Structures are given as C-alpha cells and as structure tokens.
Amino acid sequence: MESRNIRLAVIPGDGIGTEVVAEGLKVLEAVGTKIEPTHYDLGAARYHRTGETLPDAVLEELRGYDAILLGAVGDPSVPPGILERDLLLRLRFEFDHYVNLRPVKLFPGVATPLADTPAENIDMIVVREGTEGLYAGTGGAMRRGTPHEIATQESLNTAYGVERVVRYAFEKATTRPRKKLTLVHKTNVLTFAGDLWQRTVNRLAAEYPDVTTDYCHIDAASMFFVTQPERFDVVVTDNLFGDIITDLGAAIAGGIGLAASGNINPERSAPSMFEPVHGSAPDIAGQGKADPTATILSVAMLLDHLGLHAEAAKVEQAVADDILERLTGWAGRTTHEIGDDITARVSG
C-alpha cells in the first residue's frame, strides 16, 4: 500500500452500531496499521436534529476516503425506509458497491443450530448483487389509503449490472478448492430477470471451464441451507434474494453476531464499505450486550481489501481463537470485554 496514512470514514450509525464499531476500531488500532479514522454522525440522531440523512456535501467528502466502516442504521423512531434508503442504500448505490460479499462459514467451536451438521459442511461465500433489483427503489402508490390503492415495486436488472457481479463470483470460485458456483434465483416465476441471470451465468461459464455451475431456486435454496448446506460453495444472487439467504446463512453459521460483510467496489472508483450483517438492534442497544465479533470480522475484510493481508489474517486468527475459548470460558462477556479480549490477542 501507499506510504501515506490510510483514510477511513467511520459511520457508527444507530443502536448497537456505535457500540460494535468502537470495538472494531480498537482492534484496528491494536493490529498496528497506519489507518486514520474520521467519524461521521449519520443516522437517526442527526436525522431528528437536522432532518438530514446524507447531505450531498458529506457524500462527496466520503468519496475521498480509502474505505468506510459502518455499524448499523435504523431506528423505530424513524419511519421504515428513510435511513435505509437515503443513507445505507444510497451509499451502496452512489459508491457502486455492486458486490456485497458475505461469507457463511462456521468457525470451529461455534454451535450451529443445525443438528448433525459437521462444521466443515458450512463453508460458502455469498456474492450478493448490491446496486440493482428490487433495491432500485422504483415503484409507487396510487390512491393511497383508499380501497382502490395499488402499490408497485420494480426489480431492475441490467446486462451490465448482472454480468459484472456474476464475473466477480466466477473469479471468486476459481480461488476456492471446490470451484463451484450456484446461481440462486426464481427463474420459473421471475422469468424476465431470471432469464437474464441464467443466460449470463451460462455465457460466462464458457470462460471459466474449471468452475462447475449449478442453479437453485430461492425457495429450494432456503431449504437446502438448512438440510444440505454442503451443496453450496460460491453463491451468486440478486439483491433481495441475497439479503434473505445471508441472514439465513448467518443463522446456520452460529448467529448474526458473527456475520461480516463487505460492500465492494471492485474497480475502486469509490471507497468500499464494511459492516456487520446485523442491524441496529434497538431492543438491546446501550446495554453492552451486542457481540462486536461481526464488526471485527468486517474490519478483517476491510484490511484485506486495503491490501493489508497479514493484518487481516491476524484479526481473523484472533477472532477464531477467541471463539474457541468461548467453549471453555464464555460467561456473558460484554461488548467491551469481547473487544478487549480480541484486542489483546492482536496486540500480542
């Protein structure tokens, strides 16, 4: 990497977001990087204070960073969709985070809720499209509030948008021992979009003869995540299906407290953004109950993305060791304590 300091924008956000991000930053500092964090107070509090979600000037400022670390956004005091659409999704769209990378891997020592499933059977990576589909936000309502209301939502899929994320998934599959790529969609009902996705996978498959490709409907995939997770290696899917199966993936891999994600701009034309899969969890916010591990693992993905591979590996190893230790000594550590324990390991 460059010798100048790496500039990191930090958006703790709402609820437990602020608590887990604090621990992520502690680990980042302890692992010894030249990363210089700047905090942005975006989220529910700012929205209530000023009515702003993501002012254009802040968006442009954020564009200048090398990466973004985000906690979580969303609060029951704000109508559903406002912070999600105007802050989180706007960042994903404006910074062209077309790859939403979400590993689903069971760490040794973590209990999966699935009976009789050996740890090695849960080891996949979901490549979720991040800038299209039903997340485009198009649609509308007519005669709202009357018995004649209609409300629509539109899924927008482009050859450009689908090809680039499918290509990324193929590349990812070539780096994995099993080299298997599964498209998850609903081609038998969403025939227009499904046809585009399936044709794109078929066409690119010719360029990647080492990769085995496969198809699974989203309904069947949800079932197989529970009954035969070993079917999956790299999964590529659209924005909404990816949202659903990565929460399901988090569940089978030991819970949302461990699920990390990267919103990646592979061309680096804008900063990539790293965040835990979990939300702001207002019900447990401020109580020190949140597990910061998902954020710390997101920090490892961030380090990796910035080319700091040794540091990334160190953080991941520290998490793995910490998790193994939970087997013997876990007894309700607080957010801080988990952060401290992992920090001690990376400093050691």
Ligand X SMILES: CC(C)[C@H](C(=O)O)[C@@H](O)C(=O)O
Q: In the window 138-157, what residues touch a second copy (CB under 8 A)?
A: 139-141, 143-157
Pairing of strands 180-185, 6-13: unpaired
Q: Is 280 helix (H, G, I), strand (E, B) or coil?
A: coil
Kindly tell me which of 47 and 170 has the beta carbon lying closer to ligand X. Answer: 47
Q: Which of residues 238-277 bind ligand X (CB under 6 A)?
A: 243, 277
Q: What is the DSSP letter of 149?
A: -
CB 333 to ligand X: min, Å = 25
Q: Which of residues 266-305 bind a second copy (CB under 8 A)?
A: 279
For 324, the enclosing helix (H) or strand (E) is helix 309-329
Question: Which one of the listed residues 208, 214, 247, 340 is annotated catalytic?
Answer: 247
Pairing of strands 99-105, 123-129: antiparallel
Q: Is 238 helix (H, G, I), strand (E, B) or coil?
A: coil
CB 301 within 8 A of CB 99: no
Q: Is 186 a catalytic residue?
A: yes
What are the b/e assignments for 196-227, b being 16+ CB within 10 Å? bbbebbeebbeebeebebebbbbeebbebbee
Residue from 29, 59, 63, 84 binding ligand X (CB under 6 A) = 84
Query: Directed axis angle between helix 191-205 and helix 159-174, to 10°?
Result: 40
Q: How far is 109 from 325, CA to CA, in rounded Å?
A: 8
Question: Which one of the listed residues 180, 186, 215, 321 is annotated catalytic?
Answer: 186
Counting contacts by CB under 8 A, is residue 183 touching a second copy?
Answer: no
Counting contacts by CB under 8 A, is residue 166 touching a second copy?
Answer: no
Q: How far is 15 from 218, CA to CA, in rounded Å?
A: 31
Q: Is 259 helix (H, G, I), strand (E, B) or coil?
A: coil
Q: Is 40 a catalytic residue?
A: no
Residue 76's binding partner, choosing from a second copy, ligand X, none, with beta-carbon cut-off 5 to 8 A by kind? Answer: none
Query: Directed axis angle between helix 335-347 and helix 309-329, to 10°?
Result: 130
Kindly tell me which of 10 and 78 has the beta carbon lying closer to a second copy. Answer: 78
Q: Is 334 helix (H, G, I), strand (E, B) or coil?
A: coil
Q: How far is 252 from 117, CA to CA, in rounded Å?
A: 10
Question: Which one of the listed residues 66, 75, 243, 322 is annotated catalytic?
Answer: 243
How many residues lie near a second copy (CB under 8 A)? 73
Q: Is 47 a catalytic residue?
A: no
Q: Is 98 a catalytic residue?
A: no
Q: How far is 193 from 186, CA to CA, in rounded Å?
A: 9
Kindly tell me which of 9 and 88 has the beta carbon lying closer to ligand X. Answer: 88
Residue from 7, 59, 84, 289 binding a second copy (CB under 8 A) = 84
Counting contacts by CB under 6 A, is residue 219 touching ligand X?
Answer: yes
Number of residue whose CB is nearest ligand X: 84
CB 225 to a second copy: min, Å = 8
Q: Is 243 a catalytic residue?
A: yes
Counting contacts by CB under 6 A, is residue 223 touching ligand X?
Answer: no
Kindly tell me which of 22 and 205 has the beta carbon lying closer to a second copy. Answer: 205
Question: Which one of the listed residues 41, 195, 219, 283 is annotated catalytic?
Answer: 219
Write each residue from 89 to 118 as x if it is in contact with ligand X (CB under 6 A), else as -, in one continuous string.
x-----------------------------
Q: How far is 169 from 179, CA to CA, in rounded Å?
A: 10
In the complex, the residues that contact ligand X under the rule CB under 6 A are 74, 84, 88-89, 188-189, 219, 243, 277, 279
Which sequence positions are flagged as catalytic? 135, 186, 219, 243, 247
